[in-house]
Structure 1
Amino acid sequence: MLKSNGSGLLSGFPYAELADERTQHWPLVASPWHALAVLTLYLLLVYYGPKCMHSRKPWQLRGPLFIYNLCMSLLNGYICLELYSAARKLNYSAICQPCRVSFDPQELRLARAFWWFYITKVFEFADTCFFILRKKQSQLTFLHIYHHSSMFIICWIIIKWTPTGSTFMPAALNSFVHIIMYAYYCLAALGSRFRRYLWWKRYLTALQLLQFALGLAWGAQAIINKCEYPPWLCYLGTTYMLPFLYLFGRFYAQKYTKT
C-alpha cells in the first residue's frame, strides 16, 4: 500500500495518505500548489503571449527549434528505454501489475524514469512558446492547449501516487510516440528542402490516435480484471482518453479526409 510522506503539504487533499513516500521530496512533486503554479504560468503565457507579439515581427527560431526537438526526441527515447528496462528486470506485467513502494534499485530506477516523464510535460510547454514567438496563432487550438495543460496534471498525479506498477506501459507508449513526433518536428525545423521527407505526418496523427485507443483499452481491462491498482486512477485514466480520441479524431478527419 502506498504511504503518505507525512509532510502535511497535502492536508485535506483527497487520497493524500496514499501518496508514494519515495517521490515526495523530488522537485515539483510534493505540493499540488507547485503544479498549479506551473500550470497557471502556462495559461498566462497562452493568454498574454499573443498580445505581446501582436505588434512585433515573428521570430524564425530555426536553430533553437531544431535543438529543442532533437533533445526532446532523445530525452523521450531515454525515458522509454528506462521504463522498459526497469520493468523488464522487475518482471512487471504490462497488463496488470500491482503498485508497490520499494527501495529496490530497479524500483527507484523506474520511479526516476516516471519523474523525468513528468518533467518532459513541463518542457513541452515550450511548444506553445515557440508558436507564440513565431506568431503561429492558428496552432494555438483548444486541442493543443488542453493536451499540454491536462497531460501535465495527469503526469503529476502519476509521479505523486503511482510511479510504479503497470503504469509504466502507457507512459512508455507515450514516450515512444513522442520520440517519433519530435523527430518529425526536428526535420521540419530544417526548412523547406526537407519537406519532401515529411509526407508521413498523417500517419503520425494516426499513431497518436492508436495510442489513445490502446490507453483506453488498457484502462478498461484494468477495471474489468480488478487489478490491484488504485480504482480512482483507473477510472480517471480511462475517462481521460475519451476527449483525446474525439479531438484527435476530429482533427484527423478535418485535415486528412474529404467530405
Structure 2
Amino acid sequence: MAVNISNDPYYNDLYYSKPFGYTILETPYFQGFEFEKIDYLGWQQYILENWQLAFYASAVYITSIFGIQRLMRDRKAFELKTPLFIWNMLLGILSIIGFIRVLPGFYTVLSEPNGLYNSICVKKGLDIPSIYWAIAFAVSKFVELGDTLFIVLRKRPLIFLQWYHHLVTLLVVWTTAPFVEPIVRWYGVLNAGVHSLMYPYFALRAIGVKIPSYVANFITTMQFSQMLIGFAVNMASWYFQHNGYDCERHPLSIKIFVFVYGTFIFLFGKLFYDSVIKSGRKQKEKTKSKAN
C-alpha cells in the first residue's frame, strides 16, 4: 500500500503510536471523518472499568420485558406502527453506514497474503472508521434491547431466541471488548451486514408493506450463516493457537464465543429449519396438491 500520511494530528498520532499494538492502514479513506476521530483509549478504559453496566442493564431488561408482558396480559395491545417504523429504519440506516465504513478495512486485510490468518489473529490493519464503529457497535447493544420492548407492548409472541440473543450479545461484547482482538472485525462486519437487511425489512413490515416471503427466508438464512461463520473463525483462532501460531486471542474470549455461537447455531438453526426448510416443503406440497 502507498504511504499517504496526512497533516492531520489525530491520524499521525494513530499511525505512529500504533494503538493496542496495531499497524494502521494508509490510504485517504482510512483517515476517517471528523466525527469518527474519538478518544479511543478513553473508550477502551471506560468499557474496561464499567463492564458491569452490561449486567445491570441486562437485569433491568429481563425484569422490564417480563414485567411489562405480565402487565399487558389484560390490556389492549399498543399499535406503535409509526414509532416501530422509525426505530427499525434508524437502526437499519446506522447498520448500513457502519457496514460501508468497516467493510473496506476488513477486505483490505483479508485480501493480502495470509489474509485469513491476519484477519483473525494479527493486530494489523486498524483504521479510524473501524475504531469508531467498533465502539458504536458496543454501545448499540444497549439500544437494541428496545426491540423487545416493542414486542411486549404490541403483545406479539416473545420467543426465547429474541430476548436471549439480545441479552447474551450485550454481555459478551462488553466483556470481551477491552481485549481489542483482531477477530472482532469479523463479528462487526457480519453483524452490521445482517442488520443492514434485517432492520429495513422490519421497518417496512411495521407499516404494512407486503414483502415476498423469500426476502424473509433470505434474511433468516443470512442470520444462520452469520452464526456458522462466527463459530468457524473463533475455532480457527483456537486451531492457530494450539498449533504453534501466534494468535492474539484471550483464552477466556475463545471459550465465551464457543458457548455463545454454539447456542446461537442451535437456536437460529431451528429458526432456519422451521422458517425456511420446513415451510418451504409445506409450500411445495400445497403447490403439488393444487396442481393435482
TM-score, scaled to structure 2 = 0.71
Aligned residue number for residue 44 of structure 1: 63
Segments of structure 2 that go 5 or more residues without pairing to the other structure are 1-18, 22-39, 242-246, 283-292
Shift of 1:30: 2.6
Q: How does 1:64-213 map to 2 (within 5 A)?
A: 64-87=83-106, 93-97=115-119, 98=121, 100=123, 107-136=127-156, 138=157, 140-162=158-180, 164-191=181-208, 194-213=209-228
Shift of 1:108: 4.9
Aligned residue number for residue 224 of structure 1: 239
Shift of 1:56: 2.1
Distance of 1:142 and 1:166 partners within structure 2: 28
| AA matched with 1:52 | L
| AA matched with 1:156 | W
Question: 1:207-251: per-residue Cα shift (whole Å, max 9, x none)?
Answer: 111111111111111111222322332232233211111111112
Segments of structure 1 that go 5 or more residues without pairing to the other structure are 4-19
Question: Are 1:174 and 1:211, in contact at CA under 8 Å, matched by a contact in 2?
Answer: yes
Q: Structure 1 88/214 Cα, relative in aligned 2: closer, same or farther at 3 Å?
A: closer
Question: Are 2:96 and 2:192, in contact at CA under 8 Å, matched by a contact in 1?
Answer: yes
Distance of 2:192 and 2:131 partners within structure 1: 15
Aligned residue number for residue 73 of structure 2: 54
Q: Structure 1 248/209 Cα, relative in aligned 2: closer, same or farther at 3 Å?
A: same
Question: Are 1:79 and 1:175, in contact at CA under 8 Å, matched by a contact in 2?
Answer: yes
Shift of 1:37: 1.1
Task: Tell me the SS of whatever aligns to 1:60.
Answer: coil
Q: Aligned-residue CA RMSD in angstroms?
A: 2.8
Task: Tell me the SS of whatever aligns to 1:23.
Answer: helix
Q: Structure 1 119/35 Cα, relative in aligned 2: closer, same or farther at 3 Å?
A: same
Task: Tell me the SS of whatever aligns to 2:118.
Answer: coil
Shift of 1:40: 1.0
Question: Are 1:24 and 1:160, in contact at CA under 8 Å, matched by a contact in 2?
Answer: yes
Question: 1:20-72: per-residue Cα shift (whole Å, max 9, x none)?
Answer: 9553344x653232111111111111220112222321111111111111111
- Greater Cα radius of gyration, structure 1 or 2: 2
- For these two proteins, the number of residue pairs brought into alignment is 234
Q: Structure 1 2/77 Cα, relative in aligned 2: closer, same or farther at 3 Å?
A: same
Aligned residue number for residue 10 of structure 1: none
| AA matched with 2:69 | P
The runs of at least 4 consecutive aligned structure 1 residues that moved more than 3 Å come to 85-100, 106-109, 196-199
Question: Are 2:228 and 2:265, in contact at CA under 8 Å, matched by a contact in 1?
Answer: yes
Aligned residue number for residue 4 of structure 2: none
Distance of 1:243 and 1:29 partners within structure 2: 26
| AA matched with 2:78 | W
Question: 1:102-131: per-residue Cα shift (whole Å, max 9, x none)?
Answer: 9x9x54542321111112211111110000
Question: Are 1:69 and 1:186, in contact at CA under 8 Å, matched by a contact in 2?
Answer: yes
Between stretches 43-52 and 127-136, larger displacement belongs to 43-52
Aligned residue number for residue 236 of structure 1: 256
Q: Considering fraction of residues, name the structure with more helix.
A: 2
Q: How much identity, in percent, do the aligned residues show?
A: 22
Shift of 1:255: 3.4
Distance of 1:76 and 1:196 partners within structure 2: 20
Distance of 2:231 and 2:155 partners within structure 1: 35
